[in-house]
Amino acid sequence: MSDAPKTSGMTRLRNYFLTGFIVCAPLAITAYIAWSFIGWVDSWVKPYIPARYSPDTYLPVPVPGFGLIVALILITLIGFMTANIVGRAIVNFGERLLGRMPLVRGIYGSLKQIFQTVLSNKGDMFHQVGLVEYPRKGVWSLVFVASEKETEINQKLDQEGDPLIAVFMPCTPNPTTGFLMYVLKSDIVLLDMTIEDGAKLIVSAGLVAPEVKAKIVTVNGERIDGPLANPPLGAGPQPARSRRTASSRPNR
């Protein structure tokens, strides 16, 4: 009888601690990342600011974030100047110079295309989350589906009305790495969750899942039964299982 109040009290203390940890940990990690980013930008920008324009010269303590504010202003001014004819001419001249450098032109061109795709509103980014059978039948992996585009890959591997779609299969828990795969459209199970929900699911290794929809995910009218798991980092890519038999594919 005497152990019950003690056990109940310890359980409440544990629950209080876990509740506080859940509240404090995300705030602390977010503040740490933001503070580290501000310090990183300040360390790059502040050395180039003349001493007479820096508040650190007149104050007894350094002002965090002043370098970040200066960087934002400079980037905005560069964008404003680039928007006119003279600015575009200067940028084009600089890009022509970079285009003549064998190693630099490849790096610059790839980075520019990535940033233009991510920051533009052209709809070229991933637009839906889906599932493909990987790495074997009965195991489903989460993928980000790109928009359908006519490419050389589609022309070379034409499947008679069943186009190949580019999908990116991220690795858990780092979604910045993964596999680029071209999968038949009929082999992709499209989900209702958003790209943000899919990214949270990948980063949390399945712990943070979106709310369950009333609609059951099915493929060819049959409910999906099997584990859902993305490949670990370093696992070799394998092609998704095709639902077509070898005899049904056209002879080349």
C-beta of residue 168 within 8 angstroms of C-beta of residue 143:
yes
Q: What is the mean pLDDT of residues 230-249?
A: 49
H/E segment holding residue 4: helix 3-45
The encoded tokens of residue 93 equal: 């001249």
* Residue 20 to residues 5, 13, 25, 28, 129, Cα–Cα distance (Å): 22, 11, 8, 12, 33
Mean pLDDT lowest among 69-78, 96-105, 144-153, 179-188:
144-153
Residue 32 has pLDDT above 90, yes or no: yes
B/e letters for 119-150, b = 16+ CB within 10 Å, e = fewer, are eeeeeeebebbbbbbbbeeebbbbbbbbeeee
Tens digits of per-residue pLDDT, 175-221? 778 888 888 888 888 888 888 888 888 888 877 777 765 555 555 55
Residue 173 has pLDDT above 90, yes or no: no
Question: Hey, what amino acid is at 146?
Answer: A
For residue 246, name the pLDDT band (cuts at 50, 70, 90).
Answer: very low
DSSP per-residue string spanning 182-219: EEEGGG-EE-SS-HHHHHHHHHTTTSS-PPPPSSPPEE
In this predicted structure, what is the pLDDT of residue 73? 92
State pTM to two decimals: 0.54
Tell me the longest C-alpha to C-alpha distance in the chain. Answer: 86
For residue 151, name the pLDDT band (cuts at 50, 70, 90).
Answer: confident
In this predicted structure, what is the pLDDT of residue 231? 59
Select the more confidently predicted residue: 223 or 182. 182
CA-closest candidate to residue 157, choices 145, 165, 147: 165
Residue 36 has pLDDT above 90, yes or no: yes
Residue 135 has pLDDT above 60, yes or no: yes
In this predicted structure, what is the pLDDT of residue 69? 92
In this predicted structure, what is the pLDDT of residue 33? 92
Q: What is the mean pLDDT of residues 72-79?
A: 89
Q: What is the mean pLDDT of residues 132-136?
A: 86
- Of all residues in the chain, the percent with pLDDT exceeding 70 is 75
Question: Hey, what amino acid is at 204?
Answer: S
C-beta of residue 131 within 8 angstroms of C-beta of residue 189:
yes
Interatomic CA distance for residues 135 and 169, integer angstroms: 11
Interatomic CA distance for residues 137 and 193, integer angstroms: 23
Torsion of CA 214, 218, 220, 222, to 10 degrees: -100
Residue 244 has pLDDT above 50, yes or no: no
Interatomic CA distance for residues 176 and 199, integer angstroms: 10
C-beta of residue 179 within 8 angstroms of C-beta of residue 125:
no
For residue 41, name the pLDDT band (cuts at 50, 70, 90).
Answer: very high
Residue 245 has pLDDT above 50, yes or no: no
Q: What is the mean pLDDT of residues 51-69?
A: 87
Interatomic CA distance for residues 190 and 74, integer angstroms: 43
> What integer best gives the mean pLDDT of the chain?
77
C-beta of residue 186 within 8 angstroms of C-beta of residue 242:
no
